[in-house]
């Protein structure tokens, strides 16, 4: 790893009483991932909020009622923090994707 701290794109979408958090690895923003019939757009509109560090990312994840995240680094920190179970992760074009909703 380089001396650069881990950075993620994070965008909050407060909707219908929920705190929806979208997070992606920095390198994935703007890409379209293709896996068979699936085309997953890591769009700037949905994911492209602030570029944040790990601690800021975790603060928002802990507050979230809905989360959508994609990327090796972002999903890994959520797993390490106990916020995502490893078996709940699916892969799109080789990239881990996790989502959840608190009811």
Name which of 91, 4, 99, 8 is nearest 48 in CA terms. 8
- pLDDT tens by residue, 10-48: 999 998 889 999 999 999 999 999 999 999 999 999 999
Hey, is 87 helix, strand or coil?
A: helix
pTM above 0.85, yes or no: yes
Given a cut of 80, is residue 82 above it in pLDDT? yes
Q: What is the pLDDT of residue 1?
A: 39
State the DSSP string of 7-43.
Answer: -EEEEEEEETTEEEEEEEEGGGTT-EEEETTEEEE--
Q: What is the mean pLDDT of residues 64-80?
A: 96
Hey, is 100 helix, strand or coil?
A: strand
Given a cut of 60, is residue 2 above it in pLDDT? no
Higher pLDDT, 38 or 4: 38
Phi, psi of 93 (to 5 degrees): 55, 35
| Domains of the chain with bracketed CATH | 8-101 (3.30.1860.10)
């Amino acid at each position: 790893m380089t001396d650069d701290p881990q950075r993620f794109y994070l965008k909050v979408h407060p909707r219908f009483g929920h705190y929806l958090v979208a997070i992606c690895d920095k390198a994935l923003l703007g890409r379209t991932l293709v896996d068979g019939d699936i085309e997953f757009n890591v769009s700037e509109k949905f994911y492209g909020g602030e570029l944040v560090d790990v601690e800021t990312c975790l603060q928002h994840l802990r507050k979230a009622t809905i989360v959508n995240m994609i990327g090796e680094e972002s999903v890994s920190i959520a797993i390490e923090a106990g916020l995502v179970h490893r078996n709940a992760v699916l892969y799109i074009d080789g990239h881990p994707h996790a989502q959840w909703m608190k009811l």
